[in-house]
């Protein structure tokens, strides 16, 4: 899809848009798990309590050999020695991309996002904490988010201390990665400017009374959240200032199978999937998703919004997006929460 060659360099911790037409709505009601659903979820291996198979980092010391940062830029620089020699520019927009449970920075959906940002002349820094987030060790991965957030905050602080503009930096996180983006602000003197949460993870997160270890409204000045599987693997609450519900926010069309497998696909389906001919025709969608508040799917005639980094900083509320393309579930070969 993107033929432009880019150069990336690994950053060691020692410091060496598409337009969517959307309409105001209330997100679809969340899925409430019953006892059978919970038992199936545990049996699926998504939650693992066997500590002998899992990797837990109790020592929050950075740099960590288990977290790798890669810098991608539109420039082709040979033999980079530092971030700036590697093509980093403080005058460009910068984005951190953080994967979720059982993911890596080179997962296909994150590669789509990375290439899209690079095509727009962004500095892209991927956060790869794969050794700390392996399947089936969800409980341990949840704890390891703290170390990942702490080390990422050090990279963030290094950039701003050396001239990068806070207003030009965005943290984009998928699932547990969304909560890592939020937790980065716990280690900063001044909180981040912008966070985009892609279906922030729900399992065991919503039980926490404190917002200290989850994405919350006080983590950045501008927080945008995109829901694709709200109420199951994704959070059901509107944890952002601006919230988008894709196809109702909880059940993506054409994702079938048992409840666990189907939810995994829904949790990933629209994160970085390339649009075939633009994301949505400029004249549509014309109808809101069905819900008790809109039982007749009445036609709405409201203004258009951009989604992602081009959304206005002062935009607030919950919006629904009808995405009619991609009639298959991509990325079905792995499990990702």
73-87: per-residue pLDDT in tens? 876 444 444 566 677
Q: Tell me the domain boundaries of the chain.
A: 7-321
Looking from the CA of 325 toward its CB, the CA atoms found within 13 Å total: 12
Burial class (CB in 10 A: 0-12, 13-18, 19+), 131: middle
pLDDT digits (tens, 9 = 90+) for 277-335: 333 332 333 333 334 444 444 444 445 557 888 888 988 888 777 766 555 444 333 33
Q: Looking at the predicted structure, is the pLDDT value of residue 237 above 50?
A: yes
Indicate the range of 63-77, 123-137, 181-195 predicted with least confidence: 63-77
For the residues 92-111, what does the mean pLDDT come to? 92
Q: From 45, 215, 50, select the one nearest 135 (Cα to Cα).
A: 45
- So what's the pLDDT on residue 243? 86
Q: From 189, 168, 23, 177, select the one nearest 105 (Cα to Cα).
A: 177
Q: Looking at the predicted structure, is the pLDDT value of residue 204 above 70?
A: yes
> Which of 43-57, 198-212, 267-281 holds the top average pLDDT?
198-212
Contact criterion met (CB below 8 Å) for 147 and 64: yes
> Which of 166-170, 264-268, 294-298 holds the top average pLDDT?
166-170
- So what's the pLDDT on residue 84? 63
Contact criterion met (CB below 8 Å) for 128 and 68: yes
H/E/C letters for each residue in 16-43? CCCEECCEECCCCCCCCCCHHHHHHHHH
What does the block give as tokens for 331? 């990325």
What's the mean pLDDT when you consider all of the chain? 71
48 confidence band (pLDDT: 50, 70, 90) = very low
Report pTM: 0.73
- So what's the pLDDT on residue 85? 67
Burial class (CB in 10 A: 0-12, 13-18, 19+), 209: exposed
Q: What percent of the chain has pLDDT over 70?
A: 58
What does the block give as tokens for 174? 């998928």
- So what's the pLDDT on residue 312? 86
Q: Enter the CATH code of domain 7-321.
A: 3.40.50.1820
Indicate the range of 12-26, 43-57, 221-235, 313-327 predicted with least confidence: 12-26
């Amino acid at each position: 899809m993107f033929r432009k060659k880019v150069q990336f360099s690994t950053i060691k911790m020692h410091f060496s848009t598409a337009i969517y037409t959307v309409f105001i709505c209330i997100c679809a009601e969340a899925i409430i798990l019953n006892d059978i659903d919970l038992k199936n979820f545990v049996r699926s291996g998504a939650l693992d309590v066997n500590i002998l198979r899992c990797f837990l980092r109790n020592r929050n010391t950075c740099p960590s050999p288990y977290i790798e940062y890669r810098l991608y830029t539109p420039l082709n620089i040979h033999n980079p020695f530092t971030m700036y020699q590697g093509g980093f520019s403080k005058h460009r927009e910068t984005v951190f991309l953080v994967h979720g449970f059982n993911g890596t920075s080179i997962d296909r959906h994150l590669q789509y996002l990375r290439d899209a940002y690079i095509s727009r002349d962004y500095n892209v820094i991927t956060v790869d904490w794969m050794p700390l987030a392996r399947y089936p060790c969800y409980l341990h991965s949840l704890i390891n988010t703290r170390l990942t957030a702490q080390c990422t905050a050090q990279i963030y602080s290094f950039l701003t201390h050396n001239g990068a503009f806070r207003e030009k930096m965005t943290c984009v996180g998928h699932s547990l990665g969304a909560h890592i983006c939020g937790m980065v602000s716990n280690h900063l003197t001044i909180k981040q400017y912008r966070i985009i949460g892609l279906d922030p993870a729900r399992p065991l997160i919503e039980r926490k009374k404190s917002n200290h270890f989850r994405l919350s409204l006080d983590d950045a000045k501008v927080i945008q959240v995109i829901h694709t599987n709200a109420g199951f693997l994704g959070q059901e609450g509107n944890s952002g200032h601006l919230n988008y519900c894709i196809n109702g926010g909880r059940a993506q069309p054409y994702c079938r199978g048992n409840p666990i497998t189907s939810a995994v696909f829904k949790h990933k389906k629209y994160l970085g999937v390339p649009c075939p001919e633009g994301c949505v025709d400029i004249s549509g969608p014309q109808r809101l998703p069905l819900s008790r508040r809109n039982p007749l799917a009445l036609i709405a005639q409201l203004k258009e919004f951009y989604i992602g980094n081009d959304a206005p900083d002062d935009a607030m509320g919950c919006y629904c997006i009808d995405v009619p393309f991609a009639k298959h579930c991509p990325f079905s070969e792995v499990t990702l929460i």
